[in-house]
Amino acid sequence: MKTEKWSSNKQMGKFEGYLFYTDFDNTFTLPGGKEISKANCDAVKYFQSEGGLFSVATGRSPNFIQNYASFFTPNAPLITLNGTMITSPTAKRF
SS3 18: coil
pLDDT bin (cut points 50, 70, 90) of residue 90 is confident
Strands 19-22 and 53-56: parallel
Domain 19-87: CATH architecture, name and number where available:
3-Layer(aba) Sandwich (3.40)
Q: Which amino acid makes up residue 61?
A: S
Single pTM value for the model: 0.82
pLDDT bin (cut points 50, 70, 90) of residue 5 is low
Residue 30: predicted pLDDT: 93
Q: How far apart are CA 21 and CA 46, in angstroms?
A: 15
Residue 40 has pLDDT above 60, yes or no: yes
Give the mean model confidence (pLDDT) for residues 68-79: 94
Q: How far apart are CA 65 and CA 67, in angstroms?
A: 5
